[in-house]
């Protein structure tokens, strides 16, 4: 009886926290999955669709946790599962986002990677820096200390139509560079249209420095090749 009473008190104490939190989810179908400009499906051809989705639990205090997943196809691995947690706040009109993200690959444990990140946002502009804290960087050894900077812009240019553009820069440690893998850049530019009822349709040209990739591709093409990525997303 005492245990039951204690459990009930704990549940009642948690009610205000639950009431001030929000759970959201999303699911997408994309014509190609590009991560930092690179294909995540190494099958031959430019049309390699992926199913993606996840959820976020955000508290009114600014703390959040979430999970995001996508189908992939490389090195015998078929799934990427990301877990993250962080804190968002605003100061001086600038939005801040600090947290940690773990990339998990059930079929390729050597590619598992953890990063710490810091994001800034002001109006339609945003910037995010991610820093690798694990020895491995998506399968590369001596990857600890690799940095990735992404600069992005998003602005509604017509009713329900939003222009989105970003550019990213990956800087490896010198040990990776000495192994013949140079730093590289990536980009994305496109639009998203709000279809209503939580649905949105997107299209973007995505690519990167063609000769600066560290993954192979079945047809011999660069994984950084320019590709038009089309997506449909449902937010819940």
Ranked by mean pLDDT, the top range of 87-101, 137-151, 165-179 is 87-101
CATH superfamily of the domain spanning 24-235: monomeric porin ompg (2.40.160.40)
Q: Nearest-CA neighbor of 206 among 182, 190, 219?
A: 190
- Which has the minimum average pLDDT: 20-24, 41-45, 70-74, 193-197? 41-45
**Per-residue pLDDT tens for 134-146?**
999 998 888 899 9
- With 0-12 / 13-18 / 19 or more C-beta atoms within 10 angstroms meaning exposed / middle / buried, residue 124 is middle
**pLDDT of 4:** 44
Selected residue with higher pLDDT from 38 and 68: 68
pTM exceeds cut of 0.85: yes
Domain boundaries, the chain: 24-235
**pLDDT of 163:** 98
* b (16+ CB within 10 A) / e for 87-123: ebeeeeeeebbebebebbbeebeebbbbbebebebee
């Amino acid at each position: 009886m005492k245990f039951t009473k204690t459990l009930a008190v704990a549940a009642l104490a948690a009610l205000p926290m639950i009431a001030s939190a929000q759970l959201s989810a999303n699911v997408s179908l994309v014509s190609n999955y590009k991560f930092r400009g690179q294909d995540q499906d190494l099958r031959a051809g430019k049309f390699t669709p992926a199913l993606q989705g996840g959820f976020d639990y955000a508290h009114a205090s600014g703390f959040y946790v979430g999970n995001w997943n996508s189908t992939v196809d490389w090195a015998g691995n078929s799934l990427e599962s990301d877990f993250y947690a962080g804190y968002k706040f605003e100061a001086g009109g600038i939005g801040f986002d600090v947290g940690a993200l773990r990339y998990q690959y059930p079929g390729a444990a050597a590619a598992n990677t953890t990063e710490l990140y810091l994001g800034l946002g002001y109006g339609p502009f945003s910037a995010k820096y991610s820093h690798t804290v694990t020895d491995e960087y998506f399968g590369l050894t001596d990857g600890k200390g690799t940095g990735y900077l992404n600069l992005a812009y998003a602005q509604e240019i017509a009713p329900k139509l939003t222009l989105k553009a970003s550019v990213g820069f990956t800087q490896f440690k010198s040990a990776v560079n000495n192994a013949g893998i140079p730093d590289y850049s990536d980009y994305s530019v496109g639009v998203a249209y709000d279809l209503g009822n939580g649905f949105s349709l997107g299209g973007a040209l995505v690519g990167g420095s063609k000769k600066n990739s560290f993954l192979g591709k079945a047809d011999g093409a660069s994984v950084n090749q320019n590709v038009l990525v089309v997506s449909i997303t449902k937010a819940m």
